[in-house]
Structure 1
Amino acid sequence: MLKALRFAPSRFGRCFSTLVVAEHTQKGLHPATLSAINAAKKLQDDICVLVAGSGATEAAQEAAKLQGVSKVLHVDAPAYQYPVADQMANLLVAMQQKSSFASIMGPVSSLLKDVFPRLAGALDVQPLTDVMDIKSSDTFVRPTYAGNAIATVRSKDPVKVFTVRPTSFPTDGLEGGSAPVEPVTPPEGQPMVEFVKEEHAHDDKPQLATAKTVVSGGRGLRSKEGFDTVLDPLCQKLNAAMGASRAAVDAGFVPNDMQVGQTGKVVAPDLYLAVGISGAIQHLAGMKDSKTIVAINKDGEAPIFQVADYGLVADLFEAVPEMTDKVAQ
């Protein structure tokens, strides 16, 4: 169980100013981690990267080769192959007590969305989420009202705990590092939540979070068959990942791991094609950073056209198959 504590300087003294919690696949870093490290560089502090896993040596070595990283802390234990929130929060509290980081940060992810509120509660500080820009060590830019407004906030907490939006920071420019990798022994104790199993949908299609082209469908597709017969052929032609609006997910047309939006995945591909999506604020919050947005909707007054670079007012059941036929393999 986490115990709330007041932050006080550790007797060990400060060793690094910023701790980045890495997202990885044991064999390598997730691109979102590279974005988080680029964001951390804006703090102009020493950067320490935490790689917690089981057999994640390759991910730790990859982190050590990133420019700007001063040290990699490697937790290697079977229990961290599938970490749960209270386990990770306990680990971070123990590391903070020892090293007194000024900032603890990481990319927006399903795990850190659960870990960081627990961590912030234990440290008695206010967490910040979805940071889009860093002005200084205590001043951050983040969206509010589902991205309909952008707020600049200043934190007076002694420890800054925050997540960054990966699409707001680059993933390149980090070659040439040579940081040491230091093993870390995790704290003892069993988490209150037990990991049971993880299931993956095995296919060769591009992943929604990292695809350069995304084709998303909305309630206008009317059914699961609409996604299968109208959207899927276009995705195959464009080598695109398939996404969906919350309305389509709530209607049961597609599983919720395909949802794009504030309560789903935030994406920023080179091309985003919105088909039969009206453009609710919570959906726009998840895709409006895309480089080029194309919208197809029979309602010419749909809000999606306000953010689209190109728009087609047409019946999607006629327009999309025609577009699919004209796309070269």
Structure 2
Amino acid sequence: MAILLLADHDNATLSDQTAKALTAASKIGSDVHVLVAGSNAKAAADAAAKLSGVSKVLLADDASLANNLAEPLAALIVSLAGSYDAIVSAATSVGKNVLPRVAALLDVAQVSEIVDVVSADTFKRPIYAGNAIQTVQSTDAKKVVTVRTTSFSPASQGAPAAVEPISTAALSSDLSSYISDALSSSDRPELTSAKIIVSGGRALGSAENFKEVILPLADKLGAAVGASRAAVDAGYAPNDWQVGQTGKVVAPQLYIACGISGAIQHLAGMKDSKVIVAINKDEDAPIFHVADYGLVADLFEILPEMEKAI
């Protein structure tokens, strides 16, 4: 089977989500072509070409593709779809934005956020906030699939594949236009790719407490900072820190949950972490049912002690 994998990148660098999605794509079919669509994105294309399992990289370089607008990017993918049996993307903001439009234009059903590939047409995906795994068989001639990358290891480096420039004619659209980006910046690792995450919940009580007890520990560990939905809704942490079903799905090597009760919504976003440490005063908190290590204690006492001991 021929697979078209949409690369996730910022024009200059390739996201590690692409390498993980490649692992899933390689299980669907052996002939994987990576589409790098952007503006001045040759560096990202060269990085994609070095991933093991890539047969060819298609480089679509055009100003209309610079900002990942759904309309021109979907039009490009649909124009290429005739040569492929499946179109795959990581379930990132770009993939979630573009592939549903591709599926609609191709008149096929999308299979979203797969966590396993059973065969070329059969996949497993979580439902009910991750409490059940659904096995889905697609009978469509062309499969449109997004990948929950926390369930796949990244592809390794291999011999460089060829990078082939492709035409980007007639991609402009007046349905939407790029205005500006309002990006947050941080010296900490990006949440979805961090190896260690320290998360806080509503028990922190205020944004100031977040800064006083969560951030110093995260900085000592070189960790990303996460938060429960309750903490975000209360204004203790920004939206881009939210971990959970309606936030970001993460699977770090170490996840430290501080003052988080363990609601289903939150567990859906972090239960695949390799080691989970829970700190909570309530010994009956549901988080302890999924934690590898649990500490029944006051986080305002324990976290400063941990930070000093490191």
Contact kept in structure 2, 1:26 and 1:54, CA below 8 Å: yes
Deviation at 1:174, TM superposition (A): 3.6
Q: Matches of 2:174 and 2:206 in 1, distance apart? A: 41
Q: Which moved more, 1:162-171 or 1:189-198?
A: 189-198
> Is it true that 1:27 corresponds to 2:9 in the alignment?
no
Deviation at 1:191, TM superposition (A): 4.0
Contact kept in structure 1, 2:76 and 2:171, CA below 8 Å: no
The structure richer in helix per residue is: 2
Percent identical residues: 52
Q: Matches of 1:304 and 1:298 in 2, distance apart? A: 11
Q: Matches of 1:191 and 1:152 in 2, distance apart? A: 39
Amino acid of the structure 1 residue aligned with 2:233: D
Aligned pairs for 1:1-329 within 5 A? 17-96=2-81, 99-327=82-310
Q: Pairwise CA RMSD of aligned residues?
A: 1.4
Amino acid of the structure 2 residue aligned with 1:273: I
Correspondence for 1:6: none
Amino acid of the structure 2 residue aligned with 1:54: S
Contact kept in structure 1, 2:52 and 2:155, CA below 8 Å: no
Contact kept in structure 1, 2:20 and 2:154, CA below 8 Å: yes
Deviation at 1:188, TM superposition (A): 3.4
What do the CA deviations read for 1:181-219 (whole angstroms, capped 9, x no partner)? 233324333241111111222332222121111000011
Q: Structure 1 length as normaliser, TM-score?
A: 0.91
Q: Structure 2 length as normaliser, TM-score?
A: 0.96
Q: Matches of 1:28 and 1:167 in 2, distance apart? A: 20
Q: Matches of 2:46 and 2:213 in 1, distance apart? A: 44
The structure-2 alpha-carbon separation of the partners of 1:298 and 1:63, relative to structure 1 and needing over 3 Å to count, comes to same
The structure-2 alpha-carbon separation of the partners of 1:20 and 1:191, relative to structure 1 and needing over 3 Å to count, comes to farther
Q: How many equivalent residue pairs? A: 310
Deviation at 1:42, TM superposition (A): 0.6
The structure-2 alpha-carbon separation of the partners of 1:172 and 1:189, relative to structure 1 and needing over 3 Å to count, comes to closer
Deviation at 1:143, TM superposition (A): 0.3
What do the CA deviations read for 1:50-96 (whole angstroms, capped 9, x no partner)? 00011000111111222221111111011211121222212212222
Deviation at 1:127, TM superposition (A): 0.6
Unaligned runs of 5+ in 2: none
Runs (4 or more) in structure 1 with deviation over 4 Å come to none
SS where residue 25 of structure 2 aligns?
helix
